[in-house]
Amino acid sequence: MDIKTIIAKKRDKKELTEDEIRLFIGKYNKDEISEAQAASLLSYIYQAGMTENESVFFATAMADMGEKINWQEIEKDVVDKHSTGGVGDKVTIMLMPIIAALGIPIAKISSRGMGIAGGTIDKLESIPGYNTEISIETFKNNIKEYGVGILNQSKNLNPVENKIYKLRNEIACTDCVPIIAASLMSIKISTGSKKIVFEITYGNGTYIKTKEQAKKLARILKNMGTRLNKTVMCLITNMDEPLGYSIGHNLEMIEAIQGLKGKMSWDLGDVVVTIGSMILALATENKNLKVNEGIVKEVLRNGKAYEKFIQMIAAQGGNTSYIENIDLFSKARFVMPVYSAEDGYIEKISADVMGSISLYLGAGRMGNEREIDRTAGIVLNKKIGDCVNSGEIIAYIHTNDESKVLGATKNLQDAFQITKRKVLPTSRIVEII
């Protein structure tokens, strides 16, 4: 058995065995096969798909390449939430302190952003001093003491998954549903979480483009969860419009902090509250989602989620002054308004265009570069359904490069589709599976 034989087998649309998958994962993890060989196999998987068996083997093999976290010493089940992400997605940042404030331990492994969607790790690191590179032991102690913590996916924890994710991005295989399922579940095996809510976003603002793909992924994850002794719920949400008002790291952190103080856009709040209610249903005897939504709203209203967030940031070395006073966050040198060219109602705001503009302004990365401009991005002044007059501000561009303002302005105007007929905003919540 060698890697060329395995590649040829998948090229011929045949099912790979567990041993064949483990050989590929093991050799790729040790750099014993070329990037070209790994890219070929992933491309053939993209074309031929994988069976549920293959996805399970893929997930367990990746998880076995690194350390695994054991939560046996914690009385309550540790829960987890994972999203396929999207433009303006700051849900995880808000949910973690909400759930912990309700007495449910929540542990999160995340990674840096790639492409148009920023990563949770990058956003949290906008708070000076906040350390996502803590040891696994410190991470576990934080969960025991505070009930909440987040860890950057490191070389010790499922390192091959991160390599495969980057390779998928480079060869345009990011939307391969079976590999997405294996990738997501491998991380959950590594973290030891038994109860998981997956938010599966679809639309032009993320890498899963259709509702059908999202539902297929949800079904695979549910089935894999059953086989791996994990309880899984999935929420399908739409990501055709940026979530909330802000795009960009400092800007999104400010919006998340304001949200934890009770001030947030209705679309962001809708997703946060819905996922929070689902986590409560998994982790407690409270199975009524509507009742759970009220519980989540109350922990936001009474300030306990905000207090837990301060505790969470302090536990990993973050300067909590930035949470108490958002004016401390660094600002871009140029904050330029963008005006509507016509009257009407906002019918569409293209999340992919917004994400691309934010990337152009310096707020993201396309490759392995570590440095990003945390002050760059976009703040929307109008959302879908809002009335707008010609000459009215629809958004603000934040950048440190004045030469980019003109091009970004024109593209941003084009991202807004305006109609004369009245438009009603629709919920981002599509389906719970």
Question: pTM of the entire structure?
Answer: 0.94
What single DSSP character describes residue 241?
S
Reported as a single tens digit per residue, the pLDDT across 69-111 is 988 777 678 899 999 989 999 999 999 999 999 999 999 988 7
The yes-or-no verdict on residue 299 having pLDDT over 70 is yes
Reported as a single tens digit per residue, the pLDDT across 313-366 is 999 999 999 999 999 999 999 999 999 999 999 999 999 999 999 999 988 766
Q: Any idea what the Cα angle at residue 271 is, between residues 399 and 68, rounded to 5°?
A: 90
The reported pLDDT for the residue numbered 193 is 86
* Distance of alpha carbon 240 from the chain centroid: 15
Q: Are strands 429-432 and 231-238 parallel, antiparallel or unpaired?
A: antiparallel
Strands (E), 126-186: 148-152
The reported pLDDT for the residue numbered 126 is 94
In this prediction, residue 116 has a pLDDT band, given cuts at 50, 70 and 90, of: low
- With beta carbons less than 8 A apart as the criterion, state whether 119 and 153 touch: no
What's the rounded mean pLDDT across residues 120-149?
93
Residue tagged 């074309």 (tokens): 47
In this prediction, residue 175 has a pLDDT band, given cuts at 50, 70 and 90, of: confident
In this prediction, residue 157 has a pLDDT band, given cuts at 50, 70 and 90, of: confident
End-to-end CA distance of the chain: 39
Q: What percent of the chain has pLDDT over 90?
A: 83
The yes-or-no verdict on residue 24 having pLDDT over 60 is yes
Q: Helix or strand or coil: residue 192?
A: coil
The reported pLDDT for the residue numbered 277 is 98
Q: How far apart are CA 369 and CA 367, in angstroms?
A: 6
What's the rounded mean pLDDT across residues 187-197?
91
Q: How far apart are CA 316 and CA 376, in angstroms?
A: 25
What's the rounded mean pLDDT across residues 190-198?
92
- With beta carbons less than 8 A apart as the criterion, state whether 113 and 89 touch: no
Q: What percent of the chain has pLDDT over 70?
A: 97
Instruction: Find, among 103, 160, 96, the residue nearest to 316 by Cα.
Output: 96
- Which region among 23-37, 118-132, 240-254, 361-375 has the lowest average model confidence (pLDDT)? 361-375
Task: Decide if 79-154+174-324 and 331-419 have a common fold.
Answer: no
What single DSSP character describes residue 77?
P
Instruction: Find, among 160, 137, 197, the residue nearest to 63 by Cα.
Output: 160
C-alpha radius of gyration, the chain, whole number: 21
Please give the C-alpha separations between residue 50 and each of 108, 109, 181, in angstroms, as whole numbers: 27, 25, 10
In this prediction, residue 162 has a pLDDT band, given cuts at 50, 70 and 90, of: confident
Q: What is the mean pLDDT of the chain?
A: 93
What dihedral do alpha carbons 252, 257, 260, 266 form, nearest 10°? -30
Q: How far apart are CA 259 and CA 253, in angstroms?
A: 10
The yes-or-no verdict on residue 155 having pLDDT over 70 is no
Q: For domain 331-419, which architecture applies?
A: Alpha-Beta Complex (3.90)
Q: Are strands 195-202 and 148-152 parallel, antiparallel or unpaired?
A: unpaired
122 Cβ neighbours under 8 A, 6+ residues apart: 112, 113, 249, 372, 374
The reported pLDDT for the residue numbered 70 is 87
Strands (E), 33-88: 79-83
Q: Structure tokens of 244?
A: 């909330």
Between residues 72 and 423, which one has the greater pLDDT? 423
The yes-or-no verdict on residue 398 having pLDDT over 60 is yes
408-415 long-range Cβ contacts below 8 angstroms, 24+ apart: 408/357, 408/360, 408/361, 409/336, 409/338, 411/353, 411/356, 411/357, 412/338, 412/353, 412/354, 412/357, 412/378, 413/338, 413/339, 413/340, 413/341, 414/353, 415/349, 415/350, 415/353, 415/354, 415/357
Q: For domain 79-154+174-324, which architecture applies?
A: 3-Layer(aba) Sandwich (3.40)
Domain boundaries, the chain: 3-49, 79-154+174-324, 331-419
The yes-or-no verdict on residue 311 having pLDDT over 70 is yes
Q: How far apart are CA 42 and CA 28, in angstroms?
A: 12
Q: How far apart are CA 121 and CA 31, in angstroms?
A: 26
Q: How many CA atoms lie within 13 A of 199 on its CB side?
A: 29
The reported pLDDT for the residue numbered 75 is 66
Strands (E), 37-131: 79-83, 106-110
The reported pLDDT for the residue numbered 366 is 62
The yes-or-no verdict on residue 369 having pLDDT over 60 is no
What's the rounded mean pLDDT across residues 382-407?
96
The yes-or-no verdict on residue 368 having pLDDT over 60 is no
- With beta carbons less than 8 A apart as the criterion, state whether 277 and 296 touch: yes
The reported pLDDT for the residue numbered 111 is 73
In this prediction, residue 178 has a pLDDT band, given cuts at 50, 70 and 90, of: very high
Question: Phi and psi for 331 in degrees, rounded to 5?
Answer: -115, 150
Residue tagged 């894999």 (tokens): 224
The yes-or-no verdict on residue 112 having pLDDT over 80 is no
What's the rounded mean pLDDT across residues 137-145?
93
Q: How far apart are CA 26 and CA 69, in angstroms?
A: 20
The reported pLDDT for the residue numbered 285 is 94
